[in-house]
Amino acid sequence: MAAQILDGKSLAASIRAALKERVAALVQRGVKPGLAVVLAGDDPASRVYVRNKRLAATETGVHSELIELPGTIGQRELRERIEGLNANRAIHGILVQLPLPKPIDAAAVLEAIAPAKDVDGFHEINMGALFAGRPAVVPCTPAGVMRLMEQARIPLAGRHAVVIGRSNIVGKPVAQLLLQKDATVTICHSKSSDLSELTRRADVLIAAVGRPKLVRQDMVKPGACVIDVGVNRLEDGKLAGDVDFQAVKEVAGWITPVPGGVGPMTIAMLLENCIRAASRELEPKPAG
């Protein structure tokens, strides 16, 4: 039987609709959530991502500001711009679109963001909290992956989850979140030997590499849940994930499409993180 398609596009739309109501309630209480998107250089894919994020923000009622900077910007100047946003009370979330132009040290730039405004969850403080099991801000794509599986009631406790990819943005945090749901987790990467042997043992398979058709049908256990995080631009201009969707959907139990799977969930989680950051403004401040 063909797999059930996990429709991230429609789930993300319903999350955004609920967020819109939360924003309206916040605005009534005098807080308008604000998101600053920092775009340095003119990478065409980054421009598309930034446009989509800002559009979704505006539709949800979140104030969004685009800080467009030349690709030649220096490390110190970029840092100063971020410090300005840290101090800006109208801004609750700061997102620095990656990749940054060379030779900027992206890790140092991300560390300059105030952890409370780090809506991507990439700051070491937020990463550390996640790995210690006290998540403060969960990175958007891993959070979106987990929400999709939660919505579809995919069993995770005691199941074997295999994550392909070990980046700080996707692979490592999603592995951590799966562990928190009591899955047994294997992380594979470019140096893993016999990838197929590992993936065939997965009840849940997450592909986050950036290589079209890396995951073939014979690499998937029948009935497995296959989540495709990859985004690849093919020669004909179409988008494709890391999974051979047409073939794998014939054996998997659940599968996400690309586009329309994880991508829209990432944006919904970004807005959720930003709105949560704004809500903190209304929480009582600790005494002293």
Residues forming contacts to ligand NAD in the complex (CB under 6 A) are 141, 164-167, 169-171, 188-190, 192, 195, 208-211, 229-232, 262-263, 266
Nearest-approach distance from CB 230 to ligand NAD, in angstroms: 4
Nearer to ligand NAD, 26 or 202 (CB): 202
Nearest-approach distance from CB 20 to ligand NAD, in angstroms: 21
Half-sphere exposure of 60 (CA within 13 A, CB side): 34
Nearer to ligand NAD, 101 or 210 (CB): 210
Nearest-approach distance from CB 208 to ligand NAD, in angstroms: 4
Residue among 67, 51, 47 nearest 59 (CA): 51
Residue among 168, 179, 76, 52 nearest 120 (CA): 168
- 16 residue type, one letter: R
Nearest-approach distance from CB 86 to ligand NAD, in angstroms: 24
Catalytic residue among 117, 118, 120, 221: 120
Nearer to ligand NAD, 27 or 195 (CB): 195
CA distance 263 to 8: 8
Residue 222 preceded by cis peptide, ω within 30: no
Q: What is the 3-state secondary structure (H, E, C) of 45-94?
A: HHHHHHHHHHHHHHHHCCEEEEEEECCCCCHHHHHHHHHHHHHCCCCCEE
Residue 103 preceded by cis peptide, ω within 30: yes
97 catalytically annotated: yes
Cβ 275 vs Cβ 23: under 8 Å: yes
Tokens describing residue 286: 């600790």
Nearer to ligand NAD, 80 or 190 (CB): 190
Catalytic residue among 97, 172, 203, 228: 97
Nearer to ligand NAD, 115 or 210 (CB): 210
Tokens describing residue 16: 């955004």
Q: What is the torsional sign of CA 1, 205, 19, 82?
A: negative
Nearest-approach distance from CB 155 to ligand NAD, in angstroms: 23
53 catalytically annotated: yes
Active-site positions read: 53, 97, 120
